[in-house]
Structure 1
Amino acid sequence: MAFEPRQTSVGRRTVRIAHNGFARIEQWLEVEREQLALWVPVALGAGIAGWFVLPGPAHWLACCCGALGLACLALLLPVGARLRHMLVTAGLLACVGCLLVWGKATWLGQPPLARPIFVQVTGTVTAVAKLPAQQMIRVGLRPIAAPALPAAIRVNIAEADVTEGLGKGAVLRFRVRLMPPAPPSVPGAFDFARRAYFQGIGATGRALAPVEVVEKAREGPTLRARLFDHISGQVAGAPAGIAVALATGDQGAIAETDAEAMRRSGLAHLLSISGLHVTALIGAVIFLLLRLLALIPRAALDWPLMLIAAAGGALAGIGYTLLTGAEVPTVRSCIAALLVLGGLALGREAITLRLVATGALVVLVFWPEALIGPSFQMSFAAVVALVALGEHRRFKAFAMARDEPWLRKAGRTVAAMLMTGLAIEMVLAPIALYHFHKAGLLGAAANLVAIPLTTFVIMPLEALALCFDLAGLGAPFWWLTAKAIALLLAVAHGVAASPMAVMLAPAVPGWIFGIIVVGGLWCLLWRSRWRWLGLGPVAVGLIGIALLAPPDIVVTGDGRHVAVRTPAGTMALLREGAGDYVRDVLSESAGYDGTLEAIAKMKQARCSTDLCAVTLPRGGHDWRLLVTRNAMLVDRPILERDCAAADIVISDRGLPWWCRPRWMKIDRRLLSRTGGLSIGLESGKVHTVHRPGDAHPWIVRRRPRTAGQL
């Protein structure tokens, strides 16, 4: 009994503290009431992300139940409280997001081919994309009378094998080795299988000659294809690919060296039709319509010119989107532009974070799978950063127009552009490191030149050239366009050649990227001083990236390609004849930007025609690695002895049971379960492409061959 008063006082104090804390949260939410709507797409996206992150149906159902549980718990809060409404809405939206992408994947996705097959295909062409830089044509097909094949496949055809009559609607017949869409070859690499599943592609392959046109295309080339051919004929050399991409969105004509320079310099966004291109076109149409209509006295006095010009700009934006293939990034940019035009027509402030949130919500409802792609993340992150900076009172005061000498005005404009470029680069860097393992450091300076050059010089010149081509007078404008694009490429190559052009990182774990995203959204979407609490998670994530140890061994999913980190810090590759794609994938996954040397040339390696034995000193211990080099069988006494002496054995075929290394045996049987993997020797960590129990519908587990198939 002596302790009851103290217990009562502690209980009352706890209740009072909780009540005061709740009151403070309500006061803060009242101050931030205009920002609460911005979290609607974030809550919906959280449920979508949960479906992609969690491995199987039981976990997805648990995600939905957890979201609904949060909403039910929030109902215990006082009626009318903003926190109550916010948590209930967030829980319901997260559940809807998970169910939305789950339902789309179940009903609209295309299951992949179960295993590689060699077959003769007769199919109707549904899409044609020219890839002059690779000397091939990429064709989408719908197989005819082939129930064992997916409903849609994608096949590459060499240009030399293409005959007359190929086009949309044509019927082709050829032999091909079809493969399931490729999963990531190593941890952190691009997952084409996931993308193909939502695009409706069930198998890919390369057609073998001869390619027979059973039935020619009834319709002529599409406007996009004709535009591709016309521009390619008017512009020569490297600028042709850039000119085609700006007009049609097709990047197949861009040389790989130019594309890599654009990526390293932070200018790759100029190659994909997105917000910059759609906005430039719509802005030009509105400007021209306003000027032309203003010349008509009756129209200038009686007609709603802004409304008419906005309608014309909207039609131009929709037409441009359809012309360039209506890809998700273009559609997203068009939707955002239409919302801006709607705001202008209604006389309201057009460019706000609410507009950005509305655009994101529309995209997530119709294309929930876009959430995890770099295109969605980078475009919306850049726009949010741009608008958030523009709404900041200090930036507004610095950038607002004022009566001052032209030199000072020009300097202020350049400084404002540089500040926006730096803000965008800071926001995009973690996204680029997560998806591409590299982030541009000089992109802000490069974009300071490239964006005005593209928006105000290249695109208007190309538009004028196309218009004057109607009368056969476009040659001078095409010449100017080529020169301007050459200048753009010179900027890209010059920046890309700098050793400070990019920052590299090995594959970034998803949890690190996740906390950076949460912290960044907290900083950008709130407006009070509590927004800066988001810098904590961002700092933790960036420190985590900086402390990531690059892997010592990287193995592709088929076991054919192995890269190891040498004692000098460089990377060495098992097969010297590996293509550029394999080299790039292995280098990027390891966070390495140099040239891959050959393992056989390492001082620590002893190689024969069948085996390579490599000694890797790490952490005071010499790790012994044994790798097979071909499919030839090795005598049992030799292989058994070498396996016993090795810590790790790697092979692209199934190894016998009596091959027993001291730590890991990585062969076809293991890789069929794990996919590609990376190994850190000092930490002992092994990262795999496939997670145990992952039941996402695009994953095909490769069956290891039996002993008779080795």
Structure 2
Amino acid sequence: MSLAPMAAAIERRLEAERDRLPLWLPVMLGAGVAAWFALPRAAWWSATALALLAFALAAVAMGRGGRCARMLMIGALAMAAGLGLVWWRAERVAAPVLARPAVVAMTASVVRVESLAARDLVRLTLLPGVADLPPRVRVNLATADVPVGIGPGATIRLRARLMPPPEAAVPGAYNYARVGWFTGIGATGRGFAPVVMLTPSRGQSGLRTRLGAHITQRIAGSAGGIASALATGDTGAITQTDADAMRAAGLAHLLSVSGLHITAVVTATMVIVLRLLALVPALALRVRLPLVAAGAGALAAIGYTLLTGAEVPTIRSCVAALLVLVGLALGREAMTLRLVAAGALVVVIVWPEAVAGPSFQLSFAAITAIVALHEHPVMRAFAMQRDEAWWRRLARGGVLLLATGVVVEAALMPIAAYHFHKAGLYGALANIVAIPWTTFVVMPLEVLALLLDAVGLGAPLWWLVTHAIAALLGLARAVAAAPGAVSAVPVMPDGAFALIVIGGLWLALWRTGWRRWGLVPLASGTIWALTVPSPDLLVTGDGRHAAIRTTTGISLLRDRTGDYMRAVLGETGAIDGEPGLLSETTTARCTADLCLAMVGRWRVLMTRSVYLVPVNDLADACRNADVVVSERRLPRTCRPRWLRLDRPVLTGTGGITVNFTSETIRTVRTAGDEHPWRQPPTVMPPRPPRQESRSVRPKWPGGS
């Protein structure tokens, strides 16, 4: 069978889609970045890059100058460039990392101060200047222990317990080790009082800090935290309960400065500048006022980005806004997929590691879905302005807003499920109310209140801001409390997520009928994700914490498990509520030192303390167990029937999850993984003092 007719059909299709082909350039660049994260070994990275280069040459040689050949060549080269770019970036930002936990005394220079008022903490980024410590560390201090005058440039002396940046506790959990590598953080920990101020900050606290403090003084509680987040990007004053409610309602994006906030600032600036300049006839007749307003909007976007800390997500939104303003200045359409692609291209080139993070994926998925929807001919025809009654115009706007919310929620739900293991059901409806309310009510009122504070007249406006934010919080709490508002989902396989992303991009970026082929990978990935079984056993990388699936959900091994670890095990265990305790279930027998749990026909034996069990007794218990879990090295005589997870094993695998029905195991680490944050640490702290062991003989459950 000749392939010529098929090749001709593809050429005709690509000719019809020729203006959409550039949209795939950042996609292929990002695919190369994703390939570097997915492949474990340096040899594989080199082989993949060489294979892509060979494929590009083959496409040129065999394509005979056709559009398909050029597209394949450029795509392969872009993918190879993305792989090489993130590899180079990972090597360029390399910095020493702490080897093991240690308590150290240090004199350090303060780089950054972040207030976490809701947790009564202050987070400091420090430059220790100590030979056997990483050059940059992050330390949390209790608010009461923070000395007066602390700020960027201050020098302090303190003791702190430091540890290496933690990798994912279990498969699918947040991997701070990777994030810390690219941000240069070599250790994290907790500081102890007293903290001695040696040199105070060279100047007053920054504008961002002073503005946040000013706002939280005017509005108490989470409402003040939300007001501060809208102005400065600082979410530290929002209580965990309200932050969870906002997340469950699909409104968490309002708390991080993103495209919504940048758009509101730019739009307000342009409208004000246009109105003011139009009052001067000489300027209105001689100057292109829209161009001047666009310039003012650009300055406002840059200033707002700097004010809110110039975080990567905010910079991405600022870049996109600047591209839109350039388009307006050139007389082009305000927002197109080409502008979105240009913004994504800039971000991937400058911060290639952002491709693997949820912030990049969520922000660009949302804007791509919105623009693709409104570029569709049917939506264009429906949204076209016409001479009609006001109620029809209002109803048409409501339908457009609802359709936009549904499409955005559909685009964001797989990403949220992949990263956070939660799927919200009512987010689209909540955003229909929350986004206009925040954009046109809360933010303008807050700006006016801040302006009137300059002359001491802001109090009435702050009262209005307080009640406006209270209404927003009330909406979030009501939606979060609704039945089925949030569904916990198992950890999504990487392959399923990749299929969903490919299918979504195929649907969004093409214009003609073959875009419908994107439904095939989209449906395949969705079915794969929905059919993944939840894990029956979860064990953290240090072996200290474990959870078992019982008839009531997930039950924790240790009665005293911290809030963070409870949340991690609950989320990755795909449960909606709080995890229970294994010692309170009827399917386990626990003492202070051991737990024997039943999962169907499987028997799991787990140690609960650092105290040793008599070797012979432990050997008998191991022989009657299918799986044994321990945070320490087990003796050779401990031989379970199937799986032994002790310190030597977990050191190689990291955190682990097990599904007993399918007998499948997932691990955090891959054998031979050569990503830099997996490499042996380069900083060796002093050896900690030896601790004495307890002489009391521990109790243990029998082996029967």
Q: Normalising to structure 1: TM-score of the pair? A: 0.95
1:550–1:591 Cα contact (<8 Å) kept? yes
Which AA in structure 2 matches 1:670?
A: V
Distance 2:280 2:449 in 1: 27
Please say if 1:399 is aligned against 2:378.
no
Q: Report the equivalent of 2:61.
A: 76
Q: Report the equivalent of 2:104.
A: 119
Distance 1:407 1:101 in 2: 52
Q: 1:443 aligns with which of 414, 427, 436?
A: 427
Q: Report the equivalent of 1:26.
A: 11
Q: Report the equivalent of 1:9.
A: none
Q: Report the equivalent of 2:335.
A: 351
Q: Report the equivalent of 2:665.
A: 686
Q: Deviations over 1:121-174 (max 9, x none)?
A: 111111111111111110111112x12211111111111111122111011111
Q: CA deviation at 1:119?
A: 1.3
Q: Report the equivalent of 2:613.
A: 634
SS of the residue aligned with 1:75? helix
Distance 1:403 1:107 in 2: 59
Q: Report the equivalent of 1:135.
A: 120
Q: Report the equivalent of 1:599.
A: 582
1:118–1:178 Cα contact (<8 Å) kept? yes
Q: Report the equivalent of 1:11.
A: none
Distance 1:398 1:113 in 2: 59
Q: CA deviation at 1:494?
A: 0.4
Please say if 1:213 is aligned against 2:193.
no
* 1:248-267 mapped onto 2 (5 Å cutoff): 248-267=232-251
Q: CA deviation at 1:109?
A: 3.2
SS of the residue aligned with 2:676? coil
Q: CA deviation at 1:498?
A: 1.2
Going from structure 1 to structure 2, the CA distance change for 1:46 and 1:395 (only over 3 Å counts) comes to same
SS of the residue aligned with 2:115? strand
Listed as ranges, the gaps of 5+ residues in structure 2 are 694-704
Distance 1:237 1:57 in 2: 49
Q: Deviations over 1:367-411 (max 9, x none)?
A: 000001001001101111100000111111112222112112111
Distance 1:595 1:336 in 2: 40
Q: 1:282 aligns with which of 262, 266, 269?
A: 266
* 1:576-615 mapped onto 2 (5 Å cutoff): 576-615=559-598
Q: Report the equivalent of 2:700.
A: none
SS of the residue aligned with 2:221? coil
4+ residue stretches of structure 1 with deviation over 6 A?
none
SS of the residue aligned with 2:156? strand
SS of the residue aligned with 2:202? coil
Q: CA deviation at 1:700?
A: 5.2
Q: 1:675 aligns with which of 654, 663, 673?
A: 654
Distance 1:101 1:658 in 2: 46
Q: Deviations over 1:650-707 (max 9, x none)?
A: 111111111111111111111111111110001110101111111111125699x9xx
Distance 1:615 1:454 in 2: 50
Please say if 1:575 is aligned against 2:554.
no
Distance 2:245 2:302 in 1: 31
Which AA in structure 1 matches 2:118?
A: A
* 1:7-406 mapped onto 2 (5 Å cutoff): 14=1, 17-144=2-129, 146-406=130-390
1:70–1:88 Cα contact (<8 Å) kept? yes
SS of the residue aligned with 1:698? helix
Q: Report the equivalent of 1:655.
A: 634
Going from structure 1 to structure 2, the CA distance change for 1:444 and 1:250 (only over 3 Å counts) comes to same
Which AA in structure 1 matches 2:451?
A: C
Going from structure 1 to structure 2, the CA distance change for 1:569 and 1:67 (only over 3 Å counts) comes to farther
Distance 1:501 1:121 in 2: 47
Please say if 1:699 is aligned against 2:683.
no
1:111–1:697 Cα contact (<8 Å) kept? no
1:110–1:198 Cα contact (<8 Å) kept? no
SS of the residue aligned with 1:370? helix
2:163–2:189 Cα contact (<8 Å) kept? yes
Q: Percent identity?
A: 52
Q: CA deviation at 1:104?
A: 0.9
2:156–2:197 Cα contact (<8 Å) kept? yes
Distance 2:623 2:567 in 1: 33
Distance 2:320 2:487 in 1: 31
SS of the residue aligned with 2:141? strand
Distance 2:168 2:403 in 1: 36
1:673–1:701 Cα contact (<8 Å) kept? no
Q: 1:411 aligns with which of 395, 402, 409?
A: 395
2:596–2:604 Cα contact (<8 Å) kept? yes
1:679–1:686 Cα contact (<8 Å) kept? yes
Distance 1:481 1:415 in 2: 28
Q: Deviations over 1:570-590 (max 9, x none)?
A: 111111221221111001101
Q: CA deviation at 1:346?
A: 0.9
- Which has the higher mean CA deviation after the structures are superposed, 395-404 or 264-273? 395-404
SS of the residue aligned with 2:677? coil
SS of the residue aligned with 1:121? strand
1:32–1:526 Cα contact (<8 Å) kept? yes
Distance 1:575 1:78 in 2: 63
Q: CA deviation at 1:351?
A: 0.5
1:110–1:199 Cα contact (<8 Å) kept? no
Distance 1:598 1:108 in 2: 42
Q: CA deviation at 1:328?
A: 0.8
Distance 1:441 1:79 in 2: 50
SS of the residue aligned with 1:625? strand
Q: Report the equivalent of 1:6.
A: none
Q: CA deviation at 1:569?
A: 4.8
2:486–2:576 Cα contact (<8 Å) kept? no
Q: CA deviation at 1:612?
A: 1.1
Please say if 1:561 is aligned against 2:545.
yes
Q: CA deviation at 1:625?
A: 0.9
1:382–1:428 Cα contact (<8 Å) kept? yes
2:267–2:297 Cα contact (<8 Å) kept? yes
Going from structure 1 to structure 2, the CA distance change for 1:261 and 1:701 (only over 3 Å counts) comes to farther
Distance 2:146 2:578 in 1: 36
Q: CA deviation at 1:434?
A: 0.4
2:102–2:161 Cα contact (<8 Å) kept? yes
Distance 1:610 1:363 in 2: 51
Distance 1:53 1:569 in 2: 35
2:221–2:238 Cα contact (<8 Å) kept? no
Q: CA deviation at 1:200?
A: 1.0
SS of the residue aligned with 1:307? helix
Q: Deviations over 1:250-281 (max 9, x none)?
A: 11111000100010000000000000000000
Q: Report the equivalent of 1:8.
A: none
Q: Deviations over 1:68-125 (max 9, x none)?
A: 0110110123433101111111111111111111111101233421222221111111
Q: CA deviation at 1:237?
A: 2.3
Which AA in structure 2 matches 1:190?
A: Y
1:166–1:213 Cα contact (<8 Å) kept? yes
Which AA in structure 1 matches 2:357?
A: G
Q: Deviations over 1:485-542 (max 9, x none)?
A: 0000000000001122123211111111011111111111001100100100000111
Listed as ranges, the gaps of 5+ residues in structure 1 are 1-13
2:487–2:576 Cα contact (<8 Å) kept? no
Q: Deviations over 1:447-477 (max 9, x none)?
A: 0110011000000000001101110111111
Q: Report the equivalent of 2:497.
A: 513
Distance 1:338 1:636 in 2: 68
